Amino acid sequence: MLNEVRDLIHSCSSCSLAEVWFEEDGSDVYLNLNRVAAEEDLERDHYLEYEGQTIETIKIQVAFCPYCGQKLASGKDAVMPQFHHHNFGTRK
């Protein structure tokens, strides 16, 4: 995971099993997902350098936790869907 400290805005046991965290940006809440390199990824992609290297990251605006259902967005009835996807490997 990135080497920065984030304010914990939601704690869910399912989130602790993967590189998953939530961020607030004003009144918006984003679910962040990282896919990191395993040994087999290193064998397939010569651009990857080490196990645990971030391969992909996805940032999705959410109103509720998709794992436990807790409401996260304050005061919003509707969320305008938006996401960001970054692929750092060669697989598209």
Task: Report d(CA 89, CA 65) in Å as an integer.
Answer: 28
Structure tokens belonging to residue 75: 């005061």
Name which of 38, 4, 42, 36 is nearest 18 in CA terms: 36
| pLDDT in single tens digits along all 92 residues of the chain | 444 444 567 877 777 667 888 888 888 888 888 888 899 989 998 889 999 998 889 999 888 888 888 888 776 566 667 767 788 877 65
pTM over 0.85: no
Q: Is residue 21 part of a domain?
A: yes
Q: Is residue 9 part of a domain?
A: no
Q: Is residue 2 part of a domain?
A: no
Q: How many domains does the chain have?
A: 1
| Burial class of residue 78 in the structure, from the number of CB atoms within 10 Å of its CB (0-12 exposed, 13-18 middle, 19+ buried) | exposed
Name which of 42, 40, 2 is nearest 20 in CA terms: 2
Q: Is residue 34 part of a domain?
A: yes
Q: Is residue 55 part of a domain?
A: yes
State the residue range of the domain holding 50.
15-87
